[in-house]
Amino acid sequence: MNSTGFINTILSRKEDKGYQANLKRGVSKGTEHYAYPLVAKFCDLAKETEAKAFITVGAFMAASKCHHTTTIGNFGASLKALALSRNGTPGSGCPTDSRVSRILRCRNSKEVLEAIKASLHMISSGNVYVNYTRLIDDIINWSPEIARLWAKGYYTSNLEVANRYQTNSEEV
C-alpha cells in the first residue's frame, strides 16, 4: 500500500483530464472499474476496503476544483476547519457537528467511507486542506482509537492548527 505515492500522482496529473475523469468515475459502483488501473499499483485491489479507500479519496480529489493537501493533522481537524470556514463552532450544535457525530459512530471502514462522502463534497468546494494520505490510511485501519483521534482533532485541536488548514498548506 502506497497512499503517499497515490496522492502525489494525483497532484502531478491534475491537468490530465482523462486521468481525472476516470478517478471521478470510481465513486459510482457501475463505473468504479475505470479507476482500477489508476489505483492498482498503489493498493491491493483484492482487498475491498483498501481499494475503496483509494478510489473514494481519489475520486473526491479529482472532483475538487482545487487540490488542497497538507501533511499535518487528521480528518477531524479538517472538519473543524470546515466548520470554522462556515462560521460554526465545533461542539456547539453547528451543522458540521452532526456529520462528525455520524462519522465517529462508524464501526468499520465501509461505514466510514459512506459517512465521509458528504463531508468530502463540502470540503472539495471550500478552502479546507486535508491530509489525504493519512485519510486513506485511517479509513483502511479504522478503529475506536482512530475515531477518538478524529474527535480530538475536531473538538480540541487549537484554532491556530485549524487555521493552517485554510492558509498554510500546499495548494496544487
More confident residue, 95 or 38: 38
Q: What's the rounded Cα separation, in Å, for the pair 108 and 111? A: 6
- Average pLDDT in the chain: 86
Taking alpha carbons only, the member of 64, 169, 163 closest to residue 120 is 64
Question: What confidence tens digit (pLDDT) does each residue in 10-25 have?
Answer: 999 989 999 999 999 9
Question: What confidence tens digit (pLDDT) does each residue in 90-105 have?
Answer: 888 888 899 999 999 9
More confident residue, 149 or 1: 149
| List of residues 6+ apart from 22 with CB closer than 8 A | 34, 35, 37, 38
Would the pLDDT of 172 be above 70?
A: no
